[in-house]
Structure 1
Amino acid sequence: MLLKEGKIGNIKLKNRIIMLPTVTNLSNEGFVSEREMEYYKRRSKGVSLVIVGASYVNKLGKFFINQIGIDDDDKIQGLRRLSEVIHQNGAQAAIQLAMHNPKYKPSDFTKQQIQGFVQDFVSGAIRAKKAGFDAVELHFAHGWFVNQFLSPDTNKRTDEYGGNFEGRTKFALDILREVKKTIPEMTVICRINGSDFTDRGFTIEESVRFAKLLEYHGADALDISGGVSSTSEYHISPMGIEDKPLIGIVKRIKENVTIPVIAVDKLGSVYDWEKVLEDGIADFIGIARGFIGDPDLAEKLIKGHEEDIRYCIHCNQACIAYIQKGLSVSCMINPEVGREKEFEVKTDKPLNIAVIGGGPAGMSAAKYLAKKGHNVTLFEKENKLGGQLNVAKVPPHKQEIGKVIEYLENDLKKYNVKVHLNKKISLQEIKEMPYDKIVIATGSKPAKINLDADINPYMAIEVLEGNIPKGRDIAIIGGGLTGLETAEYLAEKGKKVTVLEMKEEVGEGIYPMVKKLILNRLKELKVDIITNALIKEISGGKLMYTSKDTYKVVKVEDVVLAVGNLPDTEFEELKNENRYYFIGDCKTVASAVEAIRDGAELSLII
């Protein structure tokens, strides 16, 4: 079914795989950049339809710093080049038309202004047509501007653009009707929420009614998503959400319309996609983050190499999190995103290079240096590769991290990197190595703190490696990601866990969606979280601490330290010598995203 031809409106599609719209922040003040061209050029091979990510139809509706625009005629030329690149690769080209500005709510605008916004969408569709796009997608989902009118939670208007269902849907239907009236030959897809997943938002019942109206007024297909800003885990589902979270609402809508329906969000593997189609739940499979991580996904499937597909691990650390920070899109498993041309360069002077350390930074460096044409040997002191990724995959809902190790190991084999396990390299051995360049990627070590304690604390990394505390009452000192994940890990094993954090709140630096989900799970597991906690003493089965000048006591049998990591300094004295390069945590402690990118970027300078 996946490779069966299909049709949306008047455009024929060579298979059932659609690349969904994603903001990239690769544009240049709204204009298509060369980086954006390369991004779509790489990903449009094999796929049937590419929907270019949210293009703002007016300046008011521009939300992301380097979002693509379709608000002026002077952008048509760049957009035409983009549609041509997509067409050259055999895919049909669509572009999503959108407005998003959370500073405003529906009641802030006059009827005349709303009618003006309708015309902005129509003008955007006209420009899309002039730029050679085969279809437009109208963004009516995710708590964005039009979705705010649909929701009774956010639309408090009392005129014809608010109130009852008919009033709340009028703005969206006006946009659709006017686009179809103005450009009747243009294929129009509508992205809608099957549900807002909020207490007073748009529900599946209203969504079914809305879907029928969209079909009646000319929509050629429906792209079914879900969730708004506060419930975004339903349209960019992370590891903590089970696969296919929207499939039930997709099925409901599909049963009530005759136009094609696109299923989206964390849809599992290629075999799951096939079953969704075979069961008639949807007509097309929509993939967004999957194409960020593996731009060759569709081609691999077509060539019968589905075992080589690199599935998204749904960490959201470098795609969604980066975009929301105003950075250009990236990916933990694919640091080449938006920089495709940079990583195509091959060396004309192959060097013999040693990499010391087989964690994420070391594996990445070895892969990319070998891919560039160097002869690379990797040394790892443990009996397996992966470094701290082996620990990161242990907590509940983190198993997908294990795929990162698997992908990097496959790459090391693909590019003929020589790997030596159980090989601890000393400082003297490094100095005597006969390599042209030596990369130090020895990672970091858990930080320690001085405790007035009559028991020896466990380190969080030890616990996640399987050294489980014997006692039932466990205190975890440190409320960062590692501390919270260790708390969940132990609580699921029946331990009574208390997390103590010296700062105002736990989870500093954790992506908000992930933080919300893990805190909800910890609450269900009855994990106690104490902030503003200064540890005073641990003795006689009691942990004494102060919080806001109040002296308190917690019963403890064992203590776990999760207070961060420090760079491994074993080879510090080599830092100023030209032959050596330090990457990853032994240079600066950061996340796996930064470690893998650091390793990859080393290949750009050697």
Structure 2
Amino acid sequence: MSASAPYARLLSPLDLGPFTVANRLVMGSMHTGLEDSAEDVAKLAAFLGERARGGAGLLVTGGYSPDRAGRLTRHGALASPALLARHREVTDAVHEGDSRVLLQLLHAGRYAAHRFAVSASRTRAPISPVRARRLTRHGIARTIRAFARSAALAAEAGYDGVELMGSEGYLLNQFLAPRTNRRRDRYGRDAAGRRAVPLAIARAVREAVGPGLLLSYRISLLDLVEDGQTWDETLALARELEHAGVDVLSTGIGWHESRVPTIASSVPHGAFTRLTARLTEAAQVPVVAAGRLHSPDVAEGVLARGEADLVSLARPLLADPALPAKLAAGRAAEVVACIACNQACLDRVFDGRRASCVVNPRAGHETDGDLRLVPTTSLRRRRVAVVGAGPAGLEAAISAAVRGFVTTLFEAEDEIGGQFRYAARVPGKEDYADAIASWRMRLLAHGVGVRLGTRPAAAELAAFDDVIVATGVRPRIVQEPGFDPSSPRPTGAPDVVSYADLLAGRAGAGRRVAVVGAGGIGVDVAEFLTAPSPSLTLDADAWAQAWGVTDPADVRGGVIAPPREHAGAAREVHVCQRKDTRIGAGLGRTTGWVHRAELRRAGVIEHRGVAYDRIDAEGLHLVEEGEPRLLAVDTVVVCAGQESERTLADELAALPSPPRVHVIGGADVALELDAERAVRQAVEVVAAL
């Protein structure tokens, strides 16, 4: 693979322990749900094989426990002889793609969600339902042997090496931190004692696999929990790991129980690379950077500045398995952009489901026939019209063009993107604009005819063979008096605007605002109205200060109590919902708590279990806890759900000789905005044409 100039460092080869990797791009470990069962080995092989063919130089599997106690769940991934005996299919698939692959060994420690959980000391993690038992000295010896045995099995399965998970708050990290290691024996008396178990495991694994395989260690640079490691302790660990035979130090940031976000879209790009650079300068082995390196440009910058020797991109390679190949071919603008939403990947994994990707429904489903876009063999090229350029329509148009159909995309607005255009204006979701830019370039690359500012009539579409209706949704109107934005306002009454008009810039908001509806859109609107300007996502220093992130050389664990409030809040914002559940209850597990913390810091006032009465010259009238309540606000933003926009579909059905009509996305189902379902439905419909 030849490196094109803009990504010369990212695409350059590197000698890595016993072999050379084709480029500096690592697909870091990410559990997909395909690791746990022997029945899914073929699917895992297809998943990793596609990313190997796409050009990733080195891939790391999701975590496999070396013994039963270390499983994340009772039936979680276990590096057993029976399972790894079948993994030749996985390693062969990667090697056929001319890439290298490591098996990650991960002992959950006190993060295990079962009664066999063990840790350095008897403790319970705040995110775990069980209290872990303290490992005895005999238990420690058994655990060390289990790691070595599992590494040997990985070698027999054809893996190019193993990675030891020593980050993110798992067992090895638990031994390293005073927070979780309260032992008074030789495994915990002091910092050297706390390092003893991870170092013993590294030495045992090196002996088990010999010099011909790569040994990587995932090292925590920043624990982001109280009583975590100091920077001097991290450096001492790194030096001793090198002496133990570790070939690569792959960096990790934060424990899963940390109250600082590390993987949300609101985290600045490359927020933690200054620490990576510090380790790179001190290390004698190559260092892998990780943590919000979401795009090739960010990754190239890290390498260009010498902050790391390799970069780990996990979610971006879910979004586009061909990312490295596209860079090498000079097609960077066509890379499918990861929006770091976590909705279909990490949120699913933490709920015990298979990971996929909002913008790439094939991720994790590479063997599913209903998502395979087979080029047409028909001599007469089918003509396909797609109406609506939101995520569903955009993906349908590109998929139709990939299949070889003559495709025209119609959009009533002057821009593509649909609901993603609104999301991109919310502080912390700037990456959504990258997704729109990627769709725009892929439409061009695949020859899709795009007609913006055009609302076609049903009769105009009769000449097409198929019409895919992706006209999306319209905001639902609240039926109580005064809530319809299009109705005349009483003198002195608050302005009533829809979330769409507010986020599109067609309407503004005053200093006192009520947001009606507290689902995902309502939370986004509240953040839009209260977030500091400029967005903290665009200022790594300001973001770190807001979340209490500091230097682990100064504070153990690298975290202090963050400020309780944003400085200089410009608005008084009330968020109201009919349900009595907590605000944003339906948000994803990995990001919902982040949004709620931001709203608390902004001083947003919550009203739950309310009934709406009316809007008049006094303001918004509610019934809260059985009592009338008046919110004297300047603006009411309505985020009370959506309704499908199906007018065109109904008109097409009424034609004397209608084309085949397919309704997808929000036009099909508008109960909740669900980009994952919409994009998957688009690909499935086109694949079935």
Q: Same fold (TM over 0.5)?
A: yes
Partner of 1:461: 500
Question: Do structure 1's residue 515 and structure 2's residue 554 form an aligned pair?
Answer: no
Normalising by structure 2, we get a TM-score of 0.81
Could you list the per-position Cα deviations for residues 456-491 of structure 1 after superposition, in whole angstroms to 9, with x for gaps in the alignment? Answer: 521111111113335321111111221122122223
Which shows bigger deviation, 263-272 or 498-507? 263-272
Partner of 1:592: 675
- Say if 1:141 and 1:191, in contact at 8 Å, map to a contact too: yes
Letter in structure 1 aligned against 2:16: I
- Cα shift at 1:311: 3.8
Change (3 A) 1:279 1:568: closer
Once residues 556 and 234 of structure 1 are traced to their aligned partners in structure 2, the CA distance between those partners, rounded to angstroms, is 32
Question: Do structure 1's residue 483 and structure 2's residue 512 form an aligned pair?
Answer: no
Pairing partner for 2:512 from 434, 459, 473: 473
Question: Do structure 1's residue 227 and structure 2's residue 237 form an aligned pair?
Answer: no
CA RMSD of aligned residues (A): 2.6
Once residues 653 and 345 of structure 2 are traced to their aligned partners in structure 1, the CA distance between those partners, rounded to angstroms, is 32
Once residues 676 and 513 of structure 2 are traced to their aligned partners in structure 1, the CA distance between those partners, rounded to angstroms, is 31
Secondary structure of 2:439's match?
helix
- Cα shift at 1:313: 2.1
Once residues 579 and 268 of structure 1 are traced to their aligned partners in structure 2, the CA distance between those partners, rounded to angstroms, is 39
Question: Do structure 1's residue 501 and structure 2's residue 574 form an aligned pair?
Answer: no
- Cα shift at 1:578: 8.8
Could you list the per-position Cα deviations for residues 555-605 of structure 1 after superposition, in whole angstroms to 9, with x for gaps in the alignment? Answer: 212211111112223256467999221110111123222211111111221
Pairing partner for 2:64 from 45, 55, 69: 55
Normalising by structure 1, we get a TM-score of 0.92
Secondary structure of 1:457's match?
strand
- Cα shift at 1:68: 5.0
- Say if 2:36 and 2:78, in contact at 8 Å, map to a contact too: no
Q: How does 1:96-245 map to 2 (within 5 A)?
A: 96-100=104-108, 101-103=111-113, 104-106=117-119, 107=122, 108=133, 109-185=135-211, 186-231=213-258, 235=262, 237-245=263-271
- Cα shift at 1:225: 0.9
Secondary structure of 1:313's match?
coil
Q: How does 1:78-477 map to 2 (within 5 A)?
A: 78-100=86-108, 101-103=111-113, 104-106=117-119, 107=122, 108=133, 109-185=135-211, 186-231=213-258, 235=262, 237-267=263-293, 269-340=295-366, 342=369, 343-349=372-378, 350-427=381-458, 433-453=462-482, 454=490, 455=493, 457-469=496-508, 471-477=510-516
Question: Do structure 1's residue 6 and structure 2's residue 6 form an aligned pair?
Answer: no
Question: Do structure 1's residue 553 and structure 2's residue 579 form an aligned pair?
Answer: no
- Say if 1:225 and 1:246, in contact at 8 Å, map to a contact too: no
Percent identical among aligned pairs is 27
Once residues 512 and 302 of structure 1 are traced to their aligned partners in structure 2, the CA distance between those partners, rounded to angstroms, is 36
Partner of 2:644: 567
- Say if 1:366 and 1:377, in contact at 8 Å, map to a contact too: yes
Change (3 A) 1:116 1:66: closer
Show structure 2 runs of 5+ residues with no match.
Answer: 1-8, 123-132, 483-489, 534-569
Which shows bigger deviation, 23-32 or 581-590? 23-32
- Say if 2:70 and 2:118, in contact at 8 Å, map to a contact too: no
Partner of 1:25: 33
Letter in structure 1 aligned against 2:239: K
- Cα shift at 1:527: 2.5
Letter in structure 2 aligned against 1:354: A
- Say if 2:382 and 2:465, in contact at 8 Å, map to a contact too: yes
Partner of 2:128: none
Q: How does 1:531-550 map to 2 (within 5 A)?
A: 531-550=608-627
- Cα shift at 1:157: 3.7
Secondary structure of 2:282's match?
coil
Once residues 408 and 193 of structure 1 are traced to their aligned partners in structure 2, the CA distance between those partners, rounded to angstroms, is 36
- Cα shift at 1:78: 2.4
- Cα shift at 1:190: 0.4
- Say if 2:390 and 2:417, in contact at 8 Å, map to a contact too: yes
Question: Do structure 1's residue 44 and structure 2's residue 125 form an aligned pair?
Answer: no
Letter in structure 2 aligned against 1:585: G
Once residues 205 and 552 of structure 1 are traced to their aligned partners in structure 2, the CA distance between those partners, rounded to angstroms, is 56
- Say if 1:195 and 1:227, in contact at 8 Å, map to a contact too: yes
Letter in structure 2 aligned against 1:102: A
- Cα shift at 1:97: 1.0
- Cα shift at 1:171: 2.3
| Count of equivalent residues | 602
Could you list the per-position Cα deviations for residues 115-154 of structure 1 after superposition, in whole angstroms to 9, with x for gaps in the alignment? Answer: 2222221111001111122211001111223322323223
Which shows bigger deviation, 384-393 or 101-110? 101-110
Letter in structure 2 aligned against 1:91: S
